[in-house]
Amino acid sequence: MTDNELPFAFGAPPLRGRLRSTPEDFFVEEILGYEADGAGEHAFLLVEKRGANTEWAARELAKFAGIQPMNVGYAGMKDRHAVTRQVFTVHLPGKADPDWSALPSEDMKILSAGRHSRKIKRGALRGNRFVLVLREVEGDRAAAEERLAAIASRGVPNYFGEQRFGLGGNNVAQAKQMFGGRRVDRDKRSILLSAARSHIFNGVLAERVGAGQWDAPMDGEIWSLEGSRSWFGPEAFNDTLAERLARFDIHPSGPLWGDGEPPSAGAVGELERAVAARDEDLAKGLAGARMDQERRALRLLPRDLTWRWLDDGALEVSFGLPAGAYATTVLREVAATL
């Protein structure tokens, strides 16, 4: 199911417009939740890059420092067609920092440098802050503002974004080929496993959005804790769970498919198994790869969501998201983008 085929929580988006007219129209700032500790073998660099992906930046930093790319750490992959700020660590045991201001790149600059005792690990971040600008806007402005207000109070379905599935969504087809016996290298294997899990998750979430139950409890629900990968259940819905759901402390969850049976029961379990059965080759492949059965929240609440109309009629939208969430899943409920 492509991004355009996934059902909307609030109906068709009221606007159309162009996103990423320039990299500056898609600004991302990483929120680590911690600072450099001030000492150690790793340079701790806040980097701003324009129109460049994270792996390229890591290779350029390694080349400049005279080390192997494997000795450069970063917490998350950032969009290429954007201006992004994120932290990299560069392992320099027994070495002084090079002159980072002399980094020979027009697409990347070092905003600050310190020292840190550890290499940054993948996933070791709290989230990201986005500032998106939609240009050549057409549609109903009043309806768009009502939609944005609804998103601020209720959230959006927590779909995996199209970036997860590769060019033209081809990663799912490649995952099926891999599970059918095609050999792939280790890095590609990880990408294809993630795409397969994401495809099944989006299928489950799409069914619940279509039924109006993406942010409401169903029988046999597994609950995801806000800001955590932890979950619990199933257990009968009660006043305590209702209060926690209303204040976004917990969310209904969907499966990140793996080996064994999902923990859900009742109507939720039946739905999840039925969706997985539609892509039996993916589900069996993930089980054979010994992936764990894990969970992901079905609901995503953008933090500190604000918007304003610029002088040229463009719409600027700002918000924060937890790690692993996609800005495009928020914007798609407001505008169809070119």
pLDDT per position as a tens digit, 103-119: 999 999 999 999 999 99
Average pLDDT of the chain is 95
Does residue 107 come out as left (phi exceeding 0), alpha (psi in the -120 to 50 range) or beta?
alpha
pLDDT digits (tens, 9 = 90+) for 166-181: 888 899 999 999 999 9
Q: Answer positive or negative: Cα dihedral of 157, 159, 161, 162.
A: negative
Which of 2-6, 11-15, 100-104, 246-250 is the least confident region? 2-6
Residues 6+ apart with CB under 8 A from 181: none
- Identity of the residue numbered 185: D
Per-residue pLDDT band at 316 (split at 50, 70, 90): very high
pTM for the whole thing?
A: 0.94
pLDDT digits (tens, 9 = 90+) for 28-61: 999 999 999 999 999 999 999 999 999 999 999 9
Residues 6+ apart with CB under 8 A from 174: 166, 182, 184, 188, 192, 195
For residue 69, what pLDDT is reported? 95
- Identity of the residue numbered 291: M
Apex 214 CA angle, 315 and 251, nearest 5: 95
Mean pLDDT on 295-316: 97
Whether the predicted pLDDT of 200 surpasses 70: yes
Q: Tokens 């997985």 map to which residue?
A: 276
Q: From the candidates 79, 97, 279, 292, which is the catalytic residue? A: 79
Whether the predicted pLDDT of 236 surpasses 90: no
pLDDT digits (tens, 9 = 90+) for 66-83: 999 999 999 998 888 999
As a whole number of Å, the CA-based R_g of the chain is: 21
Per-residue pLDDT band at 5 (split at 50, 70, 90): confident
Whether the predicted pLDDT of 192 surpasses 80: yes
For residue 1, what pLDDT is reported? 67
Helix axes 170-179, 280-288, angle to 10 degrees: 60
In angstroms, the CA 211 to CA 205 distance is 10
pLDDT digits (tens, 9 = 90+) for 114-169: 999 999 999 889 999 999 999 999 999 999 999 999 999 999 999 999 989 988 88
For residue 187, what pLDDT is reported? 84
Note if 140 is an active site residue.
no
Residue closest to 27 by CA, chosen among 78, 74, 69, 70:
78
